[in-house]
Amino acid sequence: MTPPAPPPPRLRVLICDDNAMLRAALADVVRAQDDLALVGSAADAAEAIRLATALRPHVVVLDVRFPGGGAYTAQQIVRAVPGVRILAFSAYGDQGPRTEMAAAGVAGYLVKGITNARLLAEIRAQGAEALPPTPRAAEDEPRTSVAAEDPEVVLTWTEGATTVRWSGPAGNVEKRYALPPQAVLAWRERDESLLLVLEAINGAPFTPSDNAVVYRADGTERFRLHPPRDLLPDPADVHGFHAAFLRQGRPLLIMVTRNAGDFQGRIDLASGRIVDTTTWR
C-alpha cells in the first residue's frame, strides 16, 4: 500500500511595514492560517534585508513607501534570496510606484484597504510560484525538509513541524523543538548512522547561531556544529546554518552571513568541524 503523500510545506512569509499597528495586524492574519508561517516582521530596509537573508521567506509583503526605500529593499532581497516573491503593499494605486516596484523585481502589487481574503489569496498565489515542485528534487538540489541516505533509519518529519522522529536498529527517537527545524537529514558514513537537525536560526536581532546538531541513531548528541568564524574579517558577521541537503550521500551545509553572501561546507566527523568551505553559488 502506498503511504499517503506528506502535506505541502507551509509558505514562509515576511511582513515589512513601518506602521507598527498595520505590521501587527498583518502578522496576526498570517499566523491564523494553517498553511502559512510568519517568519518575521521588519520596520525598515536594513532589518528587512537582514531578516530575508537569514530566514529565506517564500513571500515578502513589502510597503512601497518603506523607510530606506521600497524599491531598494526589493532589489536587495531579490538578490539575496533567489526565488523569493515580493508582494508590494501600497496606499497608492497610481502607475508611478507600480512601475518602480516592478523594475525592482516585485512580483505583485496590492493597494492597502483590500480584504484579508484578497491579501491571503495573493500571498498563496505568489507562494505557489516560490515553492519547489512537488516531485522529489534531484539529489544535488537543496532540500529544506527530510532527506535520507541511510536505509537503516526511517525519518518522520514534515517541514513546519516541531517534532522530529526516527527509528532504526537503536530504537525509536523523538526530538521536540520550540520552533520548526529548518532541515533534517539522515545519512550513513564510516559504518555509522547519523542525523543532522538544523534548528531554527536566530533571525532578530542578528546573532551568530550554532544551530546545527549531529545526532547518533540512538538520539544522543555527537556534536554541535559551529559555523567557521574566519570566513569574514568580523566573526560576528557569520550568522549560522540556514539550509542543508545531501550531495553524493553526505550533507552539504549552507551558511548565511551579514551582507556577504552565503558559504557552503561539509562536516568532518573526526573533528566535528565544517571543512571545504567555499562561496555558495
Domain positions in the chain: 11-130, 146-279
Q: Is the pTM of this model over 0.75?
A: no
70: which residues sit within 8 A by CB, 6+ positions away? 62, 63, 64, 88, 90, 97, 100, 101, 104
Region 123-146 average pLDDT = 57
Query: Which three-class secondary structure state does DSSP give residue 67?
Result: coil
Asked if 30 and 116 touch (Cβ cutoff 8 Å), the reply is no
Residues 6+ positions from 256 with CB-CB distance below 8 Å: 53, 54, 201, 239, 240, 241, 242, 262
CATH for 11-130? 3.40.50.2300
In degrees, rounded to 5, the angle at the alpha carbon of residue 258 between the alpha carbons of residues 225 and 204 is 80
219-266, pLDDT tens digit by residue?
999 999 998 888 888 877 787 887 787 887 889 888 877 666 678 899
Nine-digit cell at 64?
Answer: 512601497
Radius of gyration of the chain (CA): 20
Residue 180: per-residue pLDDT: 82
Cα separation of 60 and 41, whole Å? 9
